[in-house]
Amino acid sequence: MSSAPASSVAVGDGAAVPRHVAIIMDGNGRWAARRHLPRVAGHRAGMEAVRRAIRGAGTLGIGALTLFAFSSENWRRPAEEVGDLMGLMRFYLKREIDELDRNNVRLRLIGDWRRFDPDLVRDLDGAVARLSGNSGLLLTIALNYGAQDELVRAVRKVMAEGLAPESVDTAAIEARLDTHGLPPLDLMIRTSGEARLSNFLLWQAAYAELLFIDTLWPDFDAADLERAVAEFGRRERRYGGR
């Protein structure tokens, strides 16, 4: 993935549609707490928002959608919640795979997700393989992902491959990031009102437009995504130029 300029595409009315949108899907716990429900109910409702986001991205002509589903720091949560999240991932894959396939969605995973339980890893591998022939929306799910961890793994690859120090440049690093080959990140959205990146796509966000919205993730809908894309269309991107 490169941070080259002019990655967004113009549509009918001339407004730019982001080619690559990333979302930090935050606020499931607070959504549940407001309803006096257990946190897992928020995560379950969050799955419905994932479905809406994927459909909405397709409708709006977004080419690549990257979703932060489980961070390398989320292991710090109580074992019960981690277990619930893993269970929901398996459930989600089983329930959604046919529709994803029908909608021509391609699936890619980033992060150190092979450290998940072997059963889940097998399901994830199966889902990626099943959707690999598709040509529509490129859906990337970040699982056991941390941007610092991603950079450490990239640097390790550089060293293991014995690259000469003077040949290590931004392209050499990018080629070894989990996101290599994805379009440059245009728009990063975080829900739930928090204004931080929480170790998500730190390198890739170098020139992304950042948007923090108050909606809690389980309430996120097509209109939120449309508003985000409209806001992106109003931003002026400069890349250090004038």
Q: Which residues bind ligand IPE (CB under 6 A)?
A: 24-30, 68-71, 74, 85, 192, 194, 196, 198, 217
Tell which residue, 218, 158, 207, has the closest CA to residue 183: 207
Sole residue written with tokens 């793994």: 153
What DSSP element (H or E) covers 233?
helix 222-234
119 is annotated as an active-site residue: no
CB of 227 to Mg ion, least distance (A): 21
Tell which residue, 9, 61, 37, 27, has the closest CA to residue 225: 61
174 is a site residue for Mg ion (CB under 5 A): no
Annotated active-site residue in 26, 123, 178, 186: 26
178 is a site residue for Mg ion (CB under 5 A): no
Of 9 and 33, the one with the shorter C-beta distance to ligand IPE is 33
Residues 199-223: b if buried by 16+ CB within 10 A, e if exposed:
bbbebbbebbbebebebbbbbbeee
Q: Which are the contacts of 165, defined by CB distance < 8 A and separation ≥ 6?
A: none
125 is annotated as an active-site residue: no
Residue 56: contacted member of ligand IPE, Mg ion, none (CB under 5 to 8 Å, by partner type): none
Per-residue contact track with Mg ion, 5 to 34, x per CB under 5 A?
---------------------x--------
CB of 78 to ligand IPE, least distance (A): 11
Where on the chain is the footprint of Mg ion (CB under 5 A)? 26
Residues acting as catalytic residues: 26, 74
